[in-house]
Structure 1
Amino acid sequence: MATVYKEFIVEADAARVWDALRDFKAVHTRLAPGFLTGCTIDAEGARILTFANGLVAREMLVGIDDAHRRLAYTVTGGQAVHHHASAQVFAEGEGRSRFVWITDVLPDAMAAYIEPMMAQGGVAMKAALEGRSASAPA
């Protein structure tokens, strides 16, 4: 199984970053606007995401752990045999957070497609969480 690991510092308080991350149904407006262009919720509670590149993915919430500021989800119905991801927020002092996003995927070859998507998503998330546009310099 391949693992894609992304970690970045956010110049924003961990509680505020966590509040945006845990809002599962508003990921397209609060966490990664621009990278995600739409989010609808299906009858089973899964979010159907539309990405800026046209990709559509169905993600089921696995769990939200408020005590550890961790959210886990799985992608269903795509090309991957297995796709599980988690994101977690850590306080890094006043007004600063560390965002850790990990995806495990099978087959391993899917990592080559997922890694650049996660890199783009990370840029969009950092920008949104810091209150700037993704095209603005970091």
Structure 2
Amino acid sequence: MVSVRVETIVAAAPEAVWDAVADVGNVHRRLLPGRVAAARLEGDERVLTMSDGSEVRELIVAVDHEHMRMAYSVQGPGRLALAHHHAAFQVIAHDGGHARLVWVTDVLPHDREPAIRARVERAIEEMRAVLES
């Protein structure tokens, strides 16, 4: 299994960043507007409609308010033909009242690592920009 870890410093209070991350039904409004067109919750699953109209189904594994950590898993092979996917965000207090946003994604097969890395590196910077706006 390959782990892709990306992080960024967000010029916003950790509690504000966590509030957006933990609001799993509003990722299309609070974290990735434009990339994610819509989101809906179906029990423990979140269904994302991407800007190209495709859908991604995610199991929300944990929303841990105490540790400001949210974990999810993409269900099914989906667009990138993944055999396994598990990811987690964690928000950590950083200097000056800012937040460190950490995103770790574990995937199989190994050869999908470059595509996953490119996607999450772009997405975390998009999130930072939205969170700072």
Question: Shared topology, TM-score over 0.5?
Answer: yes
Counterpart for residue 117 of structure 2: 115
Confirm or deny that 1:24 pairs with 2:21. Answer: no
Tell me: CA distance 1:26–1:118, structure 2 relative to 1, closer, same or farther (3 Å). same
Paired letter, 2:8: F
Deviations 1:33-57 (A, max 9, x none): 1221221223x43111123355421
Deviations 1:17-70 (A, max 9, x none): 00000001101101111221221223x431111233554211110001111100
Residue ranges of structure 1 left out of the alignment (5+ in a row): 132-138
Confirm or deny that 1:2 pairs with 2:6. Answer: no
2:82 to 76, 80, 83: 80
**CA RMSD across the alignment:** 1.4
Report the identity percentage.
Answer: 40
Find the residue that maps to 2:97 and give its secondary structure. Answer: coil
For normalisation by structure 2, the TM-score amounts to 0.90
Paired letter, 1:81: A
Once the two structures are superposed, the pairs formed by residues 1-138 of structure 1 within 5 Å of their partners are: 1-42=1-42, 44-78=43-77, 79-131=81-133
User: Structure 1 residue runs of 4+, over 4 Å off?
Assistant: none
Task: Choose 55-64 or 79-88, whichever is displaced more.
Answer: 55-64
Q: Distance in 2 between matches of 1:124 and 1:50?
A: 17
Residue ranges of structure 2 left out of the alignment (5+ in a row): none
Find the residue that maps to 1:67 and give its secondary structure. Answer: coil
Find the residue that maps to 2:44 and give its secondary structure. Answer: coil
Q: Distance in 1 between matches of 2:61 and 2:83?
A: 17
- Count of aligned pairs between the two proteins: 130
Find the residue that maps to 1:127 and give its secondary structure. Answer: helix
